Structure 1
Amino acid sequence: MMKRLLPLMMLAALSGCAMFGKKPATPAVAAAATSAPQLVDAGGALIERVPYRVGVSSVTVEQLARQHACTGQGAGLVTAPGPVEVYRLQCAGGRVFMARCELRQCRKM
């Protein structure tokens, strides 16, 4: 079986198989092609968009936000997962609720 496989692999590599001939796109080019227009604030500073990520304390932060009159959906993890995490929740009225959780004990920021 191996005697047949080796010549086939060499033939595919030497014949210019599409798998071996293509170069991957650079990350900068791929990001530029799919990126949305940059957002700026009133002072002209760029606004960074943070992707939504669920964390272990997302539900706890949503409950804490409701206690502080903030009704929204999805408390997203802003920092890296670990013993200390920061969560962000967009309230229905437009304000932002932030919470800091240390070892799953969450407090409003």
Structure 2
Amino acid sequence: MKNVRRLGLAVAVCVLAGCSSTGIKLPDWVPSFTASQSAPAPEPQAKVRNNAAPGELTVNDGSGDVTIQTVEFRSGTSSATVERLARRHGCSGATGAGLITDKGPVEVYRMKCDNGTTFMAQCELRQCRPMR
């Protein structure tokens, strides 16, 4: 459960920092910036530190340090089932569904979709359902 909370924090930081592609196209009536308008002041870039533990990433966004846990891709018992479930919910991806928790009776899988979104599913005793 601790890993799921860390993942939620990592996703929230990623969304707030604008590092994920949402695939949303703005309508034509939304004004765009032109050369005649003054450009907004650049925001300070988040600094990434390499002195974090292996599998972790420390980011400073100006309001403090945040540690993000990175997870390597691991296939699990229900990876194929989660991939079929993801296709039914409109998500297709080349990398497949990876296990992000420890193996056991309850497992959480994540799959990167081609449209830039992420599909997550929880499997309990090989019965999988999408997470909202």
Q: Is the shorter-chain TM-score for this pair beyond 0.5, marking a shared fold?
A: yes
TM range (shorter): 0.5 to 0.7
Following superposition, the deviation at residue 93 of structure 1 comes to 1.1
Equivalent of residue 81 in structure 1, options 100, 103, 117 = 103
| Alignment of 1:91 onto 2:110 | no
**Secondary structure of 1:45's aligned partner:** strand
Q: Is the 8 A contact 1:39 1:46 kept in 2?
A: yes
Where structure 2 has 5 or more consecutive residues not aligned to the other structure, the ranges are: 1-50
Once residues 128 and 83 of structure 2 are traced to their aligned partners in structure 1, the CA distance between those partners, rounded to angstroms, is: 10
In structure 2, the residue matched to 1:68 is 89
Aligned length: 76
Once residues 60 and 123 of structure 2 are traced to their aligned partners in structure 1, the CA distance between those partners, rounded to angstroms, is: 28
Q: Is the 8 A contact 1:41 1:47 kept in 2?
A: no
Once residues 104 and 47 of structure 1 are traced to their aligned partners in structure 2, the CA distance between those partners, rounded to angstroms, is: 29
What TM-score do the two structures reach when normalised by structure 1? 0.60
Name the Cα RMSD after superposition. Answer: 2.4
**Secondary structure of 2:81's aligned partner:** helix
Once residues 36 and 74 of structure 1 are traced to their aligned partners in structure 2, the CA distance between those partners, rounded to angstroms, is: 21
In structure 1, the residue matched to 2:75 is 54
Once residues 88 and 39 of structure 1 are traced to their aligned partners in structure 2, the CA distance between those partners, rounded to angstroms, is: 22
Once residues 107 and 89 of structure 2 are traced to their aligned partners in structure 1, the CA distance between those partners, rounded to angstroms, is: 19
Higher helix share: 1
In structure 1, the residue matched to 2:12 is none
Once residues 37 and 107 of structure 1 are traced to their aligned partners in structure 2, the CA distance between those partners, rounded to angstroms, is: 28
Once residues 68 and 95 of structure 1 are traced to their aligned partners in structure 2, the CA distance between those partners, rounded to angstroms, is: 12
In structure 1, the residue matched to 2:22 is none
